[in-house]
């Protein structure tokens, strides 16, 4: 069994799950593709293997051209490459082929980053893909359930504006330094 965290927020959650299951831990880096003039909103996501999932409804509504999509996606690919190098340290990639893979994030708001991660892991020939998140919007949950073999969540939100942070007592966006610190802690625990 393999647990793959979607950085940044999925890393601390995944560490706990991997420890409890005595599973291998790795990363699947997936990032939203931000809207050109509104970086908080997105119209899809890109995973570390190049997999792209688009919110076709948003693309159509916004009238985005293929060139605009590719331009924004290429910026995200560059960010993913940079993060991959930063987070890899001296760890080898975790093998996922013919294994059950649990993909973990801190929650599902739109679900697009997780859907890109699921497709990416499927390309790597995982035997089964499970998504586990502490909280999910009902809409995102339905979309992710179509791609994953199983989705597990503790809380489902039906509110019109869904914010993952609303489901946490203490919330902050993890920095890259915090992610690296978590990964080093994991590495130290499992080298002993």
Residue 10: per-residue pLDDT: 95
Number of CB atoms found within 10 A of residue 181's CB: 13
pLDDT value of residue 187: 85
Q: Is the pLDDT of residue 106 over 90?
A: yes
**Predicted pLDDT at 156:** 93
The gap from C-alpha 76 to its chain's centroid, in whole angstroms, comes to: 14
pLDDT in tens, 170-185: 888 899 999 999 999 8
Kindly give, in sequence order, each residue whose CB lies less than 8 Å from that of residue 119, ignoring residues fewer than 6 positions away.
47, 51, 53, 147
| CA contacts within 13 A on the Cβ side of 132 | 19
Q: How many other CB atoms are found less than 10 A from the CB of residue 13?
A: 19
The string of pLDDT tens digits covering residues 49-98 is 999 999 999 999 999 999 999 999 999 999 999 998 888 866 767 899 99
The better pLDDT of the pair 161, 2 is held by 2
**Confidence (pLDDT) at 6:** 97
Residue 106 CB partners (closer than 8 Å, separation 6+): 9, 10, 13, 133, 134, 164, 168
Q: In the prediction, which pLDDT does 40 show?
A: 79
The per-residue pLDDT for range 132-161, each reduced to its tens digit, is 999 999 999 999 999 999 999 999 999 888
Partners of 97 in the β-ladder: 126
Q: What's the CA gap between 59 and 62, in Å, rounded? A: 5
Q: What is the pTM of this model?
A: 0.92
pLDDT band, very low/low/confident/very high, at 99 (cuts 50, 70, 90): very high
Is domain 2-191 annotated with CATH 2.40.40.20?
no
Q: How far apart are CA 149 and CA 129, in angstroms?
A: 5
């Amino acid at each position: 069994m393999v647990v793959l965290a979607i950085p940044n927020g999925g890393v601390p959650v995944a560490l706990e799950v991997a420890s409890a299951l005595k599973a291998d831990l790795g990363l699947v880096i997936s990032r939203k593709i931000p809207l050109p003039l509104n970086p908080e909103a997105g119209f899809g996501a890109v995973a570390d293997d190049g997999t792209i999932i688009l919110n076709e409804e948003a693309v159509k509504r916004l009238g985005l051209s293929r060139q605009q999509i590719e331009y924004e996606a290429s910026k995200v690919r560059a960010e993913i490459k940079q993060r991959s190098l930063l987070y890899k340290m001296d760890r080898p990639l975790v093998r996922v082929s013919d294994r059950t893979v649990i993909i973990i994030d801190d929650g599902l708001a739109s679900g697009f980053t997780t859907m890109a991660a699921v497709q990416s892991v499927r390309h790597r020939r995982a035997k089964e893909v499970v998504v586990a998140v502490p909280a999910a919007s009902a809409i995102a949950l339905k979309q992710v359930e179509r791609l994953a073999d199983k989705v597990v969540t503790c809380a489902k939100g039906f509110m019109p504006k869904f914010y993952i942070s609303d489901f946490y007592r203490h919330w902050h966006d993890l920095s890259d330094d915090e992610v690296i610190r978590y990964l080093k802690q994991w590495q130290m625990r499992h080298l002993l």
